[in-house]
Amino acid sequence: MDSTKEKNDSCKDDLLLRMGLNDNKAGMEGLDKEKINKIIMEATKGSRFYENELKKEKQVNQRIENMIQQKAQITSQQLRKAQLQVDRCAMELEQSRDLNNTIVHIDMDAFYAAVEMRDNPELKDKPIAVGSSSMLSTSNYRARRFGVRAAMPGFIAKKLCPQLTIVPPNFDKYRAVSREVKEILADYDPNFMAMSLDEAYLNITAHLQERQNWPEDKRKYFIKTGNSLENGKPEKELNKPSEHERSVSPLLFEDSPPDLQPPGNTSQVNNEEQNNPQTIQNSVVFGTSAEEVVKEIRFRIEQKTTLTASAGIAPNTMLAKVCSDKNKPNGQYQILPNRQAVMDFIKDLPIRKVSGIGKVTEKMLKALGIITCTELYQQRALLSLLFSETSWRYFLQISMGLGSTHLTRDGERKSMSVERTFSEMSTAEEQYSLCQELCSELARDLQKEGLKGRTVTIKLKNVNFEVKTRASTVSSVVSTAEEIFALAKELLRTEIDADSPHPLRLRLMGVRLSSFLSEEEVNKKENVHHSFHLCEDRDYETHQKNAEIDSEDCAELVETIGNPSEAESIDALSNEHSKEECSSLPSTSFDIEHCHQNSSCAVALESEDAGSLRRQELPQPHLYEEITDQVLICPVCNLEQKTSDLTQFNVHVDICLNKGIIQELKKDKVNPVNQFKESTRNTGNSGRVQKAVTKTKRSGLMTKYSASKKIKPDNPRNTLDIFFK
DNA sequence: GCGGATCAC
DNA sequence: TATGGTGATCCGC
């Protein structure tokens, strides 16, 4: 999209600014700035959204106030010292200044809107925007005159410009066009870095080198005539030779800067091709300079897609990005690779233009009297005392016109998420259900990339636009919808319970997975974990009928992987089944010897006899209703419990860990409580972990952790897995 | 590791 | 009637 940062500096109202107002060139059509502000204000005032914006603004003001206070306490002594330190740093930066790379930033003009206009001639002469009544992605230049901009809700845009046509986005189409553009870009830098569908950085240093020896032939491109361009200019116009070399794209940008030389224009052809008049008709040759290369790129993009792009050329990415904005749309700008040119360019550059300086940072720095890069440099010592190290170093680099000189290949992704906005949702049932849906979607996306992670985060936004995130990290990896939901559900439950009896009034919910592990790590993890299965499922009805069943019968070492002999052994793990609450059942305890971290042990609390019994006697929900009427019996421990949900009942499991094993776990940075919480997640197909784990008692060398789980009687897989590592 | 914030697109 | 979704990073706990 076009930069949303092209906001004016003389802002009276930050909120209006944030909503995308811009200087409005007084033209025949459109609205002036004042009118735009007024209309937006009328539409937004009093809304929950607006109230929240005010709240956030107050917080920022508070931050600024704190900063000013801090500033007041700085002594000249401190400042002098800081100055020395910062200047030493600046000197080092200066010495590392690298002007040897040629970085190009390419930015498609009003991309989505331009694609829609290209493909639908009816839209060509109208103000349009792509998006929906609730949010616009981009607008064309005609609509911008009315103050209609990206990130503005469509219904407000309509008030600004009633004639506005809002086109729903066609992302598949944009992706296809983007691919065409990227094919061209790859010719100049196979390692170019795409920032989005419509933006990319290229390092053309190597291409330039190579190009110096290229014959004209390799820099020659034939001009496609308008005949093949479905929605181009009228044919007669296109066929005029004088028009040939001009833009072949539809007239998207009537306010295109006049000084701009369209790619492949006559003068350029003359420069390069004076002795070859034949080529003037239908082909164009580009030179060997960076500027020519970028003209060639833009020319090829336009030829191929009928869309225009803007570009910036500079010795680093930070400058290139700013440059591409300079002659937008359909223009380019270069900062020559010498220090003076960079400094001249930087001198009066408003810091807000720099990628990374957003609305809040701008406001904070403005409070210190800093608006331009020069001022940013002048205040470097002060900034080093008021901001974090990373921040002031970043500021210093910007103020010196420095930036990345090489394009780092984007590394592996660090998180994946889904989130959705909806009309108010207040019932827990709906919320859980939506949460589950989001988890499924996320799991599907994760599977596409084969990712597994350890941290699940939920995001909630209430109807007042207040956002909350809650995260839970486990030591194993999760990836399936069920695994993610088990954790997300608990996080959601905690939030619902916290506000109970008031419902959460939500307008957005999201689920994210992070702390990804590489494939090898995942394998290691999955093989390594000690898995203690406590399978209360298959025998619970037996237990219920016969609480006297010998625990030895249902204790079974199911699985042992790895080599126990080379084990650094875990002293013991004792499992008791709710000794206190369920005194009717003898405690179950295991001593696992030689159980190495690299091995996997699974202990099943299971009766083989019960396995054969269970099918015939599966209790039906209605049975419980009859038997208990609001009171259910835990089938394992016989504990009576009240519940309103008669299709489910709780099973309690307590685990006692001795000091040795806890130390082992801590050594591996495993929090037993978290681990237990994770372990008790649902592994059955409809069971529910009812309660988070609580550390209940510390007695002697043992620490007891308890969990309980809701189990549906008809669930064939009601297992409770507890595993460490 | 968590949660709030900021930023880009 | 109505103000997005995804990913990254940083800071202060």
pLDDT value at A503 more than 90:
yes
More confident call, A710 vs A65: A65
User: Tens of pLDDT along A416-473?
Assistant: 999 999 999 999 999 999 999 999 999 999 999 999 999 999 999 999 999 999 999 9
pLDDT value at A361 more than 80:
yes
User: Tens of pLDDT along A31-63?
Assistant: 999 999 999 999 999 999 999 999 999 999 999
Residue nearest to nucleotide C4 (CA to C1'): A135
H-assigned helices in A367-427: 373-378, 380-386, 389-399
**Closest C-alpha to A299, from A285, A312, A288, A289:** A285
Determine the average pLDDT of the residues in A402-406: 98
Determine the average pLDDT of the residues in A292-297: 98
User: What DSSP assignment string belongs to A231-284?
Assistant: TSS-HHHHHSHHHHTS--S----TT--TT---TT-HHHHHHHHTT-HHHHHHEE
Distance A330 CA to B3 C1' (A): 43
Please report the pLDDT score of residue A520 as a whole number.
Answer: 84
Given a contact cutoff of 8 angstroms between Cβ atoms, the answer to whether A462 and A507 are in contact is yes
**Strand B and chain A: which residues 304-363 have CB closer than 7 Å?**
321, 354-362
Please report the pLDDT score of residue A84 as a whole number.
Answer: 98
Determine the average pLDDT of the residues in A3-12: 40
Distance A507 CA to C1 C1' (A): 14
Which of the nucleotides in strand B have any atom less than 7 Å away from a protein CB atom? 1-9
User: Tens of pLDDT along A470-500?
Assistant: 999 999 999 999 999 999 999 999 999 999 9
**Phi–psi pair at A520, nearest 5 degrees:** -65, -40
Distance A300 CA to C12 C1' (A): 50
Please report the pLDDT score of residue A252 as a whole number.
Answer: 34
Strand C-proximal residues, CB under 7 Å?
A 19, 43-44, 47, 49-50, 133-135, 137, 151-156, 158, 387-391, 413-421, 507-508, 510, 512
Residue A655 CA to chain centroid, in angstroms? 38
Beta-bridge partners for A459:
A469, A510
pLDDT value at A601 more than 70:
no
Cα A151 from Cα A356, distance rounded (Å) = 18
First and final C-alpha spacing in chain A: 45
**Closest C-alpha to A487, from A499, A502, A477:** A477
Please report the pLDDT score of residue A128 as a whole number.
Answer: 98
Distance A149 CA to C2 C1' (A): 17
Q: Kindly list the distances between the CA atom of residue A82 and the CA atoms of A70, A86, A90, in Å, as whole numbers in the listed order.
A: 15, 6, 12
Determine the average pLDDT of the residues in A270-278: 42
pLDDT value at A236 more than 90:
no
* Least confident range of A12-26, A431-445, A586-600, A706-720: A586-600
Nucleotide nearest to A358 (CA to C1'): B7
Cα A575 from Cα A380, distance rounded (Å) = 61
Please report the pLDDT score of residue A523 as a whole number.
Answer: 82
Cα A353 from Cα A201, distance rounded (Å) = 17
Confidence of residue A28 (pLDDT cuts 50, 70, 90): confident
Given a contact cutoff of 8 angstroms between Cβ atoms, the answer to whether A371 and A398 are in contact is no
Determine the average pLDDT of the residues in A162-169: 98
Which of the nucleotides in strand C have any atom less than 7 Å away from a protein CB atom? 1-12
User: What DSSP assignment string belongs to A9-47?
Assistant: SS-S-HHHHHTT-------SSS--HHHHHHHHHHHHTTS
Q: From the Cβ of A541, is strand B under 7 Å away?
A: no
**Phi–psi pair at A715, nearest 5 degrees:** -80, 120
Two tokens at A71? 């500033």
Query: Assign residue A666 a region: left if phi > 0, alpha if psi is -120 to 50, beta otherwise?
Result: alpha
Nucleotide nearest to A1 (CA to C1'): B9
Distance A397 CA to C13 C1' (A): 28
Cα A543 from Cα A521, distance rounded (Å) = 40
Q: Say which residue the tokens 């609205």 belong to.
A: A31
**In terms of pTM, does the model score above 0.75?**
no
Q: From the Cβ of A8, is strand B under 7 Å away?
A: no
Query: Assign residue A326 a region: left if phi > 0, alpha if psi is -120 to 50, beta otherwise?
Result: alpha
Residue nearest to nucleotide B2 (CA to C1'): A471
Sequence-distant (≥ 6) Cβ neighbours of residue A440 within 8 angstroms: A481, A485
Given a contact cutoff of 8 angstroms between Cβ atoms, the answer to whether A647 and A621 are in contact is yes
Please report the pLDDT score of residue A519 as a whole number.
Answer: 81
CB atoms within 10 A of CB A397: 18
Distance A240 CA to C10 C1' (A): 57
Please report the pLDDT score of residue A665 as a whole number.
Answer: 54
Determine the average pLDDT of the residues in A640-664: 40
Residue nearest to nucleotide C3 (CA to C1'): A153
User: What is the biggest distance separating any 2 CA atoms in chain A, rounded to whole angstroms?
Assistant: 105
Nucleotide nearest to A457 (CA to C1'): B2
pLDDT value at A541 more than 80:
no
